[in-house]
Chains A and B, each alone.
Chain A
């Protein structure tokens, strides 16, 4: 098998206050996959995400991205390869205009002038926000801000896009628009979510993290229809949603 885009081996981590969040996580994501990372609140999902680009440093175990270990000298290249879209777009959009915010990442990578502008345009085209390039982010709707947040990361041309609760606080139309955008992207995706229908719609494969370990890894259909597994890890299908009575995945 080829080198996985994302290769997490035996990852363990305890916070400085002694609270241990991860107890040996193994996770491999291959090129072109869309994987959902499911798990109850407090399972360690966000902690895991912060290890993927070296914001947190593994207590034990290792993370590598397309063969490059997440450590010291590689961090700049790792952060280009791993694009994280955080849950609150207000945390990610901190400059005066959409253009400046989308340009922030690629400019840190050394892009300038025409090449930088092309990158910004292209990233905004991918999320359908090109018309808003001169607007201040805080004048956009929440759904628009979420899409610009995705563009800020796409502008770095990452090898894997990591989304933390991408559908949270979105109205149904914005939610569907974001799904269309994510499906149209030619990039590997790891999506952290509680939104099980969204995971089923977008990700053929799901991984369940619970109490700091991976407790299931399989097709999203198999995971969501395994009642014992779901009950044991505080995962519940929302009212009216059941993969068993639905047709094939869209």
Chain B
């Protein structure tokens, strides 16, 4: 898509990684993820090797590490889950600082953290080095079914419109003395999200009408 007007996850650059064809990057990402997930959880040296490979790619992309690190907060819910595992898992237990933890639980949590972190970092690297439009064209070249590619294209196009609408609704709520962060106002927030859903649905219908009006017949010419 347009040069220099990327998405929030995109970091503008001209490195080898940026210039690599999108479908190659997509295949590499999927291959890497499958390999990581399939690796037995106690092969620590192999995980270290994966991390080195990934960090080399990140370095080659010249995307600042801090840029990626800040976006990795998306992983936090999984981290919380991983931290819970040693407390609740069954099996032989061991004492760490006086707290009884499950040994298999510790191993599982470690593996979950490693695999999750590698996956998130690899995906963020793809997003940082590839414009959303190129990802779509890459998927198309990989023969992803046309309707799915179209749906993803609309998602990218309307993400800003819908989040903008949501931000305006929240501003309007705040202006009338409601704090969307306070649990007391969550019912109101939920209703406004419902309204947002309906508005987006209706917009979808209007977009469809506008497409039909210009002779849409099921395929989007690119």
Contacts and interface: CB of A to CB of B under 8 A. Distances in A.
A188 interface: no
A210 to B, nearest CB: 24
A170 interface: no
Interface in A24-55: 50, 53, 55
B129 to A, nearest CB: 18
B209 A55 contact: yes
B154 A76 contact: no
B213 A84 contact: yes
A86 B205 CA distance: 13
Interface stretch (B1-9, B25-33, B82-90, B95-103): B1-9
Contacts of A223: none
A136 interface: yes
A181 interface: no
B5 A107 contact: no
A193 interface: no
A91 B209 CA distance: 9
Given A91-B210, A92-B210, A97 B2 contact: yes
B215 A156 contact: yes
Contacts of A90: 158, 161, 203
Select the residue from A80, A95, A109, A134 with max chain B CB neighbours within 10 A: A95
B222 interface: yes
A212 interface: no
A123 to B, nearest CB: 12
Interface string A75-104: 010011011101010111011110010011
Contacts of B209: 50, 55, 86, 91
A249 B2 CA distance: 42
Nearest to A53: B213
A135 interface: yes
A122 interface: no
Given A91-B206, A95-B220, A96-B2, A138 B160 contact: yes
Interface in B51-94: none
A121 B213 CA distance: 21
Interface in B163-222: 203, 206-207, 209-217, 220-222
A87 to B, nearest CB: 9
A106 B157 CA distance: 21
B116 interface: no
A249 B207 CA distance: 36
B216 A136 contact: no
A191 B66 CA distance: 53
A22 to B, nearest CB: 17
B20 interface: no
Contacts, number: 82
Interface in A104-147: 104-105, 107-109, 134-136, 138-139
Nearest to B206: A91
Interface in A147-178: 152-153, 156
A134 B214 contact: no
B13 interface: no
A153 B211 contact: no
B104 interface: no
A108 B158 CA distance: 22
B1 A104 contact: no
Contacts of A138: 157, 160-161
B210 A135 contact: no
A156 to B, nearest CB: 6
Contacts of A91: 203, 206-207, 209-210
Interface of A: 50, 53, 55, 76, 79-80, 82-84, 86, 88, 90-92, 94-97, 100, 103-105, 107-109, 134-136, 138-139, 152-153, 156
Given A86-B206, A86-B209, A134-B3, 9 more contacts: A55-B212, A79-B213, A84-B213, A90-B161, A94-B154, A104-B220, A134-B2, A135-B5, A139-B5
Q: Give 8 closest A-B pairs by Cβ, nearest first.
A: A107-B221, A105-B214, A108-B215, A96-B1, A91-B206, A136-B2, A92-B210, A96-B133
